[in-house]
């Protein structure tokens, strides 16, 4: 019997990767707080995660009409798009970054990352205990 890490870890490893991607997007927003015409972006965590889960449960396979065709899974493109944020106050230079809000989101995202890390860590500890049988 093979151990499936994918099944054992649940969605926590996907969630952690997604948090890391979001940290990149949010940090880019903050770094560009003084760039004219820059539009703040963000990703919809729930939509992307749902897309990922759908992919693991019932992957949408690409049609193979010939034996030489490679096996492929279609990406749920609709969910993995970066959205543009609507600012509360528009700036004269066309920049839509609101630094305080972005920093709050970045910090919350970091906390969520740590939470996902905690879950994943405990999953591994559980596996470890099961292997040792103590």
Q: Does 103 participate in binding another protein (rule CB under 8 A)?
A: yes
* CB-nearer residue toward another protein: 15 or 113: 113
* CB-nearer residue toward another protein: 35 or 69: 35
Mark out the alpha helices in the chain (DSSP H runs). Answer: 5-9, 12-31, 45-57, 99-132
> Binding string to another protein for residues 31 to 60, with x set by CB under 8 A, is what?
xxxxxx-x--x-x----x------------
Region class of 60: left (phi > 0), else alpha (psi between -120 and 50), else beta: beta
Evaluated on CA atoms 110, 112, 115, 120, the torsion sign reads: negative
19, 116 contact by CB (below 8 A): yes
Q: Does 121 participate in binding another protein (rule CB under 8 A)?
A: yes
Q: Does 21 participate in binding another protein (rule CB under 8 A)?
A: yes
Binding span for another protein by CB under 8 A among 4-12, 29-37, 62-70, 84-92: 29-37
Binding span for another protein by CB under 8 A among 3-11, 56-64, 72-80, 84-92: 72-80
Specify burial of residue 65 (Cβ count, 10 A radius: 0-12, 13-18, 19+).
Answer: exposed
């Amino acid at each position: 019997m093979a151990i499936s890490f994918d099944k054992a870890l649940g969605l926590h490893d996907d969630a952690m990767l997604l948090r890391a991607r979001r940290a990149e997007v949010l940090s880019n927003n903050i770094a560009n707080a003084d760039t004219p015409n820059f539009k703040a972006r963000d990703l919809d965590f729930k939509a992307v995660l749902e897309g990922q889960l759908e992919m693991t449960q019932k992957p949408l396979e690409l049609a193979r009409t010939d034996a030489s065709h490679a096996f492929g899974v279609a990406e749920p493109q609709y969910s993995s798009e970066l959205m543009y944020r609507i600012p509360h106050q528009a700036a004269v230079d066309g920049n839509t970054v609101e630094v305080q809000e972005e920093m709050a989101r970045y910090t919350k995202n970091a906390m969520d990352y740590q939470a996902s890390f905690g879950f994943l860590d405990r999953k591994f500890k559980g596996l470890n205990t099961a292997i040792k049988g103590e």
